[in-house]
């Protein structure tokens, strides 16, 4: 069985909705999925996982502090012991549409990617021909915008959720393929 862990922070529910949709995609590929908020996630969750996905709303241009606390206090222990090397990792984010260019979404994903790479994970991108990419795509992972440029509520679009679902499928496939392979030994 392939295990996929999705760790996220969420304030208004959009990130949670993206996380659940990614989980759905991973399950379609036969993976067992653990969906947890950052403060509840343990070293055991990480060790058990074959694929690890981090998600966060854009907060002041980078990941929510609860995700960073989890990384500093939980992930760091496994980094010390080289325990996560060779798993696969991926990211996603949500934000408002203020500024129209997704201000901060790229650095938010990058700040999470930075940690996944440090933990020794292979990073899974979001190819530009993934269904839904035109509405929700960044090379780093799917991005859900629940508001327009003037902060008007729009909700996540079907296309954005479609990109998220496929991201879950991609990670599950890669995790299944790479599981147990001695890439870095």
Q: Which member of 31, 33, 138, 156 binds its own copies (CB under 8 A)? A: 138
Min CB(48)–its own copies separation in Å: 19
Among the listed residues 25, 135, 164, 165, the single contact to its own copies using CB under 8 A: 135
- On whether the CB atoms of residues 140 and 113 are closer than 8 A, the answer is yes
CA–CA separation, 59 and 104 (whole Å): 8
**Residue 53 sits in the site that holds its own copies (CB under 8 A):** no
Q: Which of 26, 124, 156, 164 binds its own copies (CB under 8 A)?
A: 124
Candidates 12, 13, 134, 154: give the one binding its own copies (CB under 8 A): 134
DSSP readout, 112-172?
HHHHHHHTTPEEP---TTSTTHHHHEETTEEEEE-B-TTS-B----HHHHHHHHHHHHHHH
6 binds its own copies per the rule CB under 8 A: no
CA distances from 69 to 40, 88, 108, 152 (A): 11, 21, 15, 31
Strand, helix or coil at 94?
strand
Binding residues among 57-86 for its own copies as defined by CB under 8 A? 59-65, 68-69, 71-73, 75-76, 79, 82, 85-86
CA distance 171 to 5: 10
Residue 123, token pair as written in the block: 């990073």
Q: What is the x/- site pattern for its own copies, positions 89-118, by CB under 8 A?
A: ---------xxxxxxxxxx--xx--xx-xx
Contact with its own copies (CB under 8 A): which of 128, 154, 155, 158? 128
Q: Quote the CA–CA distance of 152 and 175 in Å, as a whole number.
A: 38
Binding-site ranges for its own copies (CB under 8 A):
59-65, 68-69, 71-73, 75-76, 79, 82, 85-86, 88, 98-107, 110-111, 114-115, 117-118, 120-125, 127-130, 133-140, 143, 145, 149-151, 170, 173-174, 177-178, 181-184
């Amino acid at each position: 069985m392939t295990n996929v862990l999705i760790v996220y922070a969420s304030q208004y529910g959009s990130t949670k909705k993206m996380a659940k949709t990614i989980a759905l995609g991973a399950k379609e590929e036969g993976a067992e999925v653990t969906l947890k908020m950052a403060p509840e996630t343990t070293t055991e969750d990480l060790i058990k996982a074959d694929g690890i996905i981090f998600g966060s709303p854009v907060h002041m241009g980078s990941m929510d502090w609860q995700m960073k606390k989890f990384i500093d206090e939980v992930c760091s222990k496994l980094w010390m012991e080289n325990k996560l090397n060779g798993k696969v990792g991926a990211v996603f984010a949500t934000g408002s549409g203020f500024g129209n260019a997704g201000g901060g979404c790229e650095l938010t994903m990058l700040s999470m990617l930075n940690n996944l790479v440090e933990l020794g994970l292979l990073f899974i991108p979001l190819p530009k021909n993934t269904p839904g990419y035109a509405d929700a795509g960044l090379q780093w992972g799917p991005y859900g915008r629940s508001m327009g440029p003037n902060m008007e509520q729009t909700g996540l679009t079907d296309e954005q959720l479609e990109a998220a679902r496929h991201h879950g499928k991609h990670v599950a496939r890669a995790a299944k393929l790479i599981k147990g392979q001695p890439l870095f030994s």
